Structures are given as C-alpha cells and as structure tokens.
C-alpha cells in the first residue's frame, strides 16, 4: 500500500521499486526483460488482467509517486526521488494505466486546489485507473483562446446548472469524471468570469458523441451539457478564478505531453530512434543518414530540456515555460521522426495493420501498446495531432516569445472587454 517514502535514500527507493515489481509482475516478466525477449513480454502483457494490474500498481503508489501518500495513492516523493522509481518501472516496461489525463493533469489540479474531502474522494481512483478523467476545456469557438469559452454555469442554491458544448474531449467516452471550465459571469472580461468544476460524466444531461480521427480511432469526442447539476462542493478554487485553476492543469498538460512528467514512461520495447538506428545502421543515402542523426539529436535535446525542468522542480520552483519549450520541441521532433520512419520503410510504410489502442467497447487492447502492432503509418498519422493537442506550436511560440524572450504580448482587442460584448460566431 502507498506509504510516505520521502525519508528513504535513493538506493532504498530503487530497492523498494524492484522488490515490489518482483512480487507483483507476472512470473518470468523481469527475466524476459533482462534477456531482451520482447516476444515473451508481449505474450505476458496480453495475458495480464489489465485493470487488476492497474489497481495494484496504483495502490502501491508507484503510478503517482509524487502524490501525498495520505490519500491512498502516492509515495510523497520529490520529483527527483520519483525519477528513481520511474526509471525502475521504465526499465521493466510496466503496463501503463490509460488514465493519462487523470494522472497527468486531474490529480495535480485536485492536489493543488481541492478540499481535503475531494482529495480523499478522487485521488486513489485516478491512480488506480478505476476512474478515468477527461479535460473539458476546448469548445467549437474556443480552442487556442480557451478563455473565450461559452459553456454557462449558473448558481442554483448549493448547486450549479451547466449548459453548453465541449469538443475534442479525449477519453470522454470512457470517463467517470471531467475537469470542466465554464463561464459563470459574462459581464466581466473573459479570463475573469470563469469557474472550474469537477463534473460527473454519468450525471443526467451529459451526452458524449465520438469523433473519428485520421488514424481510424475515436480517441476524442463532442460533449454536450443540458442543464447538468454540479454540487458547489465540487468547485475547485474561488468563483470567477477558474482561469488560475486552469493554468495549473495546462502547465501539467504541457509537462506531461513533453514526456517530462511521465511517471512510468512508455512501456514499448525500445525508443523509436534506437529501433531506427538498429534497423537502418548501414543505410547509404546521405539524406536519410542526416535525418537519422537529426532525429537522434532531437531526442537528446528533448531529454536534456526535460532534465532541466525536473531539476528546476526539484529545487522547489514552479513549472514555468520549460513545459512549453519541451512541448513544442517534442511535438515537432516526433512528427519528423515518424515521417522519417515512413520514408525509411519504403512501400511498407503505407501498410496499415495497427489495432486501435482502445476498442469500441472501451476496453484497452493490451497488444496495441507493443511494437508489433504499431505500424509506421499509424504512428505517422497520429503524430499529426502532436502540434495541435495541448496547445498548438504557434501558441507555444507566442508563450516563449512573451515569457522567455520578453517580446510584446500578442495583441488581443477582446482582453479587457466584458465577455458578453466580444463579437463571436454563432
Ligand atoms: C488529439 C487531440 C486531443 C485533444 N484533446 C483535448 C482534450 O482532451 N480536452 C480539450 O479541452 N481539448 C483537447 N484538444 C483540443 C486542443 O487543445 C485544441 O485543438 C487546440 O488548443 C487548438 O484549438 P483549435 O482546434 O480550436 O484551433 P484554433 O484555436 O482555432 O487555431 C487554428 C489555427 O490558428 C492558430 N492560432 C490561433 N490563435 C493564434 C495566435 N494567437 N497566434 C498564432 N496562431 C494562432 C493555431 O495555431 C492553429 O494553427 C485536443 C486536440 C487534439 C488534436
């Protein structure tokens, strides 16, 4: 069970993680990793009871090592201590909980802003993957400028009544709870009239409709709210201060999308760049050789910038623009990498046999997380979303221009006007 391990030495933490994995991974798993037997790992992963594993892993605290142990999931570790246990989990390619939005953003936002009661209510379910979370920010008329959103929340006694529409909501079809940003005061400028709630995705009036992507998967959805009731006790932060709460979510989103916040990393066999180098070491085409080297450099730069951000957090500093640097870098590097993989594969690069990660019935396709079913074409198509999701590359460049280079702010004539007076479509 989760316990406060913050006083343990680095060696003790490594030993704790190794012992826990030895006692809990299926028999033969660690030996197969040590022997480099990827086929055996795939077999063991397919045979593994996914949710049962996620529950045990979450309760151990290893899925969310920086979370306070007192809420039933977490080891109360600093980011650098967490890195030690994460490295052990990565080395042994533990199966990842699919609740990446809950673990990467929902939990950190709850920890920063929720009441003690809500922390006890929500954190364990997020860490164990038993309660999937989604992020209900973007709307048809508010994506990059999410502060302009139109979904309304009106107070009714001890409750709020929500009506409106969200879009691009990843995992909403599987989610138990959502992080909802809604407009509670249209008479003040757009950033000031927002309030942040946790919403029960099973509440009456919530309708989720899937949207199909380029890859054929339906990872994200439209979500409609028709007079959905939310208790005031499920509000995070003060009324009208939702933008500040949303910043906590967005900062954590950038860090988690860049790979820096990844608690257990990628459970696939090898890093894509290592796979490319292993397969194409002898390639003669100078252009492709140059692109392989560039992909290796990209990977190192993202890793070093992530390390820089981790060191900053270790010193107790807040996550700053580093998240935007690595989000921008890793999104663009990932697209170059998967374009390269398709080019290197030649005719086979257009072949299509990947299985979706999440099936139509909402169950996880365990085999899909292993390399054999990840075709170059699927990864190439999925990577197109990297420079849009979590904030576009243009928006990341705006943030870096303003916050790192000190350039003048992007002009925004609607910034100080009452939201209701800002012209909008529809
Ligand atoms: C795979 C995927 C998953 C997603 N999951 C979620 C989710 O779970 N929850 C959620 O809330 N949202 C989610 N999103 C939405 C995502 O955050 C938005 O798509 C993104 O913020 C861009 O908003 P938009 O699509 O409305 O584009 P717009 O904001 O309309 O932008 C259109 C274009 O204009 C550019 N642009 C806009 N403003 C500026 C500016 N000021 N300066 C320069 N260029 C600008 C943009 O860079 C872009 O190229 C997801 C998106 C994708 C692709």
Long-range contacts of residues 118-121, Cβ cutoff 8 Å, at least 24 apart: 118/198, 118/233, 118/234, 118/236, 119/68, 119/71, 120/71, 120/72
What integer is the mean pLDDT of 94-123? 95
Q: What is the pLDDT of residues 78-101, one digit of tens each?
A: 888 888 998 899 889 898 888 999
What integer is the mean pLDDT of 393-400? 94
Q: What residue's CA is closest to ligand 1, atom 2?
A: 389
What integer is the mean pLDDT of 396-405? 92
* Ligand 1 atom at minimum distance from 170 CA: 8
How many angstroms separate the CA atoms of 265 and 246, rounded? Answer: 24
What integer is the mean pLDDT of 223-248? 98
- Tell whether ligand 1 has an atom less than 6 A from the beta carbon of residue 169: yes
How many angstroms separate the CA atoms of 180 and 164, rounded? Answer: 11
- Tell whether ligand 1 has an atom less than 6 A from the beta carbon of residue 410: yes
Q: What residue's CA is closest to ligand 1, atom 30?
A: 143
Q: Is 102 or 87 the better-scoring residue by pLDDT?
A: 102
Long-range contacts of residues 364-367, Cβ cutoff 8 Å, at least 24 apart: 364/50, 364/98, 366/45, 366/46, 366/48, 366/50, 366/95, 367/42, 367/45, 367/46
Residue 179 has pLDDT above 90, yes or no: yes
Residue 262 has pLDDT above 50, yes or no: no
Question: So what's the pLDDT on residue 283?
Answer: 92
| Token pair in block for residue 64 | 């969310």
Q: What is the pLDDT of residues 293-332, one digit of tens each?
A: 999 999 999 888 888 877 777 776 766 777 889 899 999 9
Does the annotation mark 131 as catalytic? no
Instruction: Kindly name the residue from 131, 139, 219, 253 that is annotated as catalytic.
Output: 253
Q: What residue's CA is closest to ligand 1, atom 40?
A: 395
Q: How far is the CA of 165 from the centre of ligand 1 (A)?
A: 16
Mutate to test the pocket of ligand 1, among 99, 132, 136, 144 (most ligand atoms within 8 A of CB): 144
* Ligand 1 atom at minimum distance from 146 CA: 21
- Tell whether ligand 1 has an atom less than 6 A from the beta carbon of residue 29: no
Question: So what's the pLDDT on residue 80?
Answer: 82
Task: List Cβ neighbours of 153 (8 Å cut-off, separation of 6 or more).
Answer: 160, 161, 162, 180, 182, 183, 184, 195, 197, 230
Q: How far is the CA of 425 from the centre of ligand 1 (A)?
A: 17
Predicted TM-score (pTM) of the model is 0.92
Question: So what's the pLDDT on residue 318?
Answer: 67
Residue 149: CA count within 13 A, CB half-sphere: 31
Residue 156 has pLDDT above 50, yes or no: yes
Mutate to test the pocket of ligand 1, among 133, 147, 168 (most ligand atoms within 8 A of CB): 168
Question: So what's the pLDDT on residue 23?
Answer: 97
Q: Taking a C-beta distance cutoff of 8 angstroms, is the pair 321, 403 a contact?
A: yes
Q: What would the DSSP string read from start to end of 216-276?
A: S---EEEEEEEEEEEEGGGEESSTTBHHHHHHHHHHHHHHHHHTTT-SS---SSS-HHHHH
Q: Residue 318: left if φ>0, alpha if ψ -120 to 50, beta else—which one?
A: beta
Angle at which helices 286-314 and 79-91 cross, to 10°: 140
Q: Is 126 or 303 the better-scoring residue by pLDDT?
A: 126
Write out the H or E segment, with its range, that includes residue 397: helix 393-403
Q: How confident is the model at residue 345 (pLDDT cuts 50, 70, 90)?
A: confident
What integer is the mean pLDDT of 61-85? 92
How many angstroms separate the CA atoms of 103 and 111, rounded? Answer: 11
How many angstroms separate the CA atoms of 74 and 5, rounded? Answer: 9
Q: What residue's CA is closest to ligand 1, atom 24?
A: 143
- Tell whether ligand 1 has an atom less than 6 A from the beta carbon of residue 80: no
Range picked from 153-157, 361-365, 379-383 for highest mean pLDDT:
153-157
* Ligand 1 atom at minimum distance from 398 CA: 42
Q: Is 268 or 121 the better-scoring residue by pLDDT?
A: 121
Percentage, residues of the chain above pLDDT 90:
63
Question: So what's the pLDDT on residue 127?
Answer: 96
Question: So what's the pLDDT on residue 354?
Answer: 55
What integer is the mean pLDDT of 200-205? 98
Mutate to test the pocket of ligand 1, among 389, 412, 414 (most ligand atoms within 8 A of CB): 389
290: three-class secondary structure by DSSP? helix
| Token pair in block for residue 368 | 């899909």
For all residues of the chain together, what is the average pLDDT?
88
**408: burial class by Cβ within 10 Å (0-12, 13-18, 19+)?**
exposed
Q: How confident is the model at residue 287 (pLDDT cuts 50, 70, 90)?
A: very high
Q: How confident is the model at residue 352 (pLDDT cuts 50, 70, 90)?
A: low
What integer is the mean pLDDT of 330-353? 87
């Amino acid at each position: 069970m989760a316990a406060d391990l913050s006083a343990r030495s680095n060696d003790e933490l490594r030993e704790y993680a190794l012992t826990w994995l030895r006692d809990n991974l299926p028999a033969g798993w660690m030996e197969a990793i040590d022997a480099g037997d990827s086929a055996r790992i795939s077999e063991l992963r397919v045979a593994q009871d996914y949710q049962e594993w996620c529950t045990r892993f979450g309760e151990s605290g290893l899925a969310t090592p920086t979370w306070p142990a007192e809420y039933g999931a977490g080891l109360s570790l600093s980011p650098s201590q967490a890195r030690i246990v994460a490295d052990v989990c990565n080395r042994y390619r533990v199966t990842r909980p699919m609740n990446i939005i809950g673990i990467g953003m929902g939990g950190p936002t709850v920890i920063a802003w929720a009441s003690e009661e809500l922390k006890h209510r929500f954190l364990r379910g997020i860490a164990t993957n038993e309660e999937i979370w989604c992020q209900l920010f973007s709307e048809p008329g508010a994506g990059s400028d999410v502060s302009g959103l139109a979904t309304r929340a009106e107070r009714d006694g001890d409750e709020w009544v929500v009506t409106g529409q969200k879009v691009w909501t990843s995992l909403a079809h599987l989610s138990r709870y959502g992080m909802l940003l809604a407009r509670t005061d249209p008479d003040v400028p757009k950033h000031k009239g927002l309030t942040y709630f946790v919403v029960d995705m099973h509440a009456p009036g919530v309708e989720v409709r899937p949207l199909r992507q380029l890859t054929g998967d339906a990872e994200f959805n439209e979500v409609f709210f028709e007079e959905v009731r939310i208790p005031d006790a499920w509000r995070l932060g003060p009324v009208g201060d939702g933008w500040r709460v949303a910043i906590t979510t967005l900062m954590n989103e950038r860090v988690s999308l860049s790979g820096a916040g990844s608690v257990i990393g990628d459970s696939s066999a090898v890093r894509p760049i290592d796979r490319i180098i292993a397969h194409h070491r002898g390639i003669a085409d100078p252009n492709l050789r140059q692109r392989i080297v560039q992909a290796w450099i990209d990977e190192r730069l993202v890793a070093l910038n992530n390390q820089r951000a981790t060191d900053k957090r270790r010193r107790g500093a807040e996550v700053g623009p580093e998240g935007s640097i690595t989000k921008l870098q890793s999104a663009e590097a990932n697209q170059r990498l998967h374009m390269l993989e398709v080019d290197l594969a030649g005719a086979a690069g257009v072949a299509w046999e990947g299985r979706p990660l999440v099936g139509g019935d909402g169950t996880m396709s365990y085999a899909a997380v292993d390399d054999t079913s990840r075709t170059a074409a699927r990864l190439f198509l999925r990577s197109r979303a990297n420079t849009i999701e979590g904030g576009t590359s243009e928006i990341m460049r705006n943030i870096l221009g303003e916050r790192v280079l000190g350039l003048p702010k992007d002009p925004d004539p609607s910034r100080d006007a009452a939201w209701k007076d800002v012209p909008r479509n529809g």
